[in-house]
Amino acid sequence: MTDAHLKVFRGNPGEEGRFEDFAVPVEEGMVVLDALHWIQGHEAPDLAVRWNCKAAKCGSCSAEVDGRPSLTCKTRLSDFDLEQPITVEPMRAFPLIRDLVTDVSWNYEVNKTIQPFTPPDDVAQEDWRWQQQDIERVQEYRKCIECFLCQDVCHVLRNHETEKPFMGPRFLVRAAGLEMHPIDQADRRGYLKDSGGIGYCNITKCCTDVCPEHIRITDNAIIPLKERVVDAYYDPIQWAWRKLRGRGPDAGVGVELPVLQGSPPPTDHDTPD
């Protein structure tokens, strides 16, 4: 039986951390999460790994495998050259809790700053009407499993390089689903520009590349939102029309996003973005 050689990050916050080597017997169909479970079962019972569904649907087993943000339950060992070691380390963008587990709670705080679905006050729910194509468009955004791999790969969040916080691609996806909902009445464009930091995104598409749900994050969420923000704030005709007519309340303008405190572990890899 062939062995896979895994180099797994071990460490706690405030420590330097280290990579430990494990030789894992490979069986057909094995994924990286299986190998981590084998390590827990045979060699390192205290290895911290987060997972739930093992079906690529809960979004909790996110880590960096050979430097690429990945779901460990969806990443097959057969996709690697088993002559070479496979590194497994925690997501770099978020503070470390232990070993492969990071604290992603910052994301939930950002989520709370987005104005939720806001239907009209004066139309009863049974009278809401929309086209099938509108529903199909917003369904793509609802496929998100909150794995935060897109947040992890985004160089803006990963390198903590901005003066102000940036909401990140996952929450631009959520905002797109609300802004493009045919029944929603709120106008989040001011929030996206000032609080969400949409201008920090330079459309590198790395977030789209790692999304396990194949959401076309940049093409179908970020670019249309950027266009809406530009229309509202930088096109003088649109700006004047909006002032005259309005679309809905400015939702979330002035809200401050929490600051993401990262504690990137040591790594052999450059930023993949």
Binding site for ligand FES (CB under 6 A): 51-54, 56-61, 71, 73
**Is 77 strand, coil or helix?**
helix
DSSP of 215-249, one letter per residue? --IIIIIIHHHHHHHHHHHH-HHHHHHHHHH--S-
- Other Cβ atoms less than 10 A from the Cβ of 27: the count is 12
56 binds, among ligand SF4, ligand FES, none (CB under 5 to 8 A by kind): ligand FES
- Tell me: does residue 156 bind ligand SF4 (CB under 6 A): yes
In the chain, where does DSSP find H-type helix? 32-42, 105-112, 132-141, 149-153, 155-158, 169-179, 189-194, 206-210, 223-234, 236-245
Among 72, 87, 195, 218, binds ligand SF4 (CB under 6 A): 218
52 binds, among ligand FES, ligand SF4, none (CB under 5 to 8 A by kind): ligand FES
Among 32, 47, 150, 232, binds ligand SF4 (CB under 6 A): 150
- Tell me: does residue 217 bind ligand SF4 (CB under 6 A): yes
Report the residue number, 2 or 162, with the smaller CB distance to ligand SF4.
162
Tokens of 80: 């690697």
Least distance to ligand FES, CB of residue 145, Å: 7
Q: Is 19 left (phi over 0), alpha (psi -120 to 50) or beta?
A: beta
Least distance to ligand FES, CB of residue 150, Å: 14
Report the residue number, 56 or 183, with the smaller CB distance to ligand FES.
56
DSSP code at position 83: T
| 119-148 positions binding ligand SF4, by CB under 6 A | 144-148
Helices 236-245, 223-234: axis angle to 10 degrees equals 80
Least distance to ligand SF4, CB of residue 179, Å: 16
73 binds, among ligand FES, ligand SF4, none (CB under 5 to 8 A by kind): ligand FES
- Other Cβ atoms less than 10 A from the Cβ of 59: the count is 19
Interacting residues toward ligand SF4 by CB under 6 A: 144-150, 153-154, 156, 169-170, 173, 201-207, 210-213, 215, 217-218, 222, 273
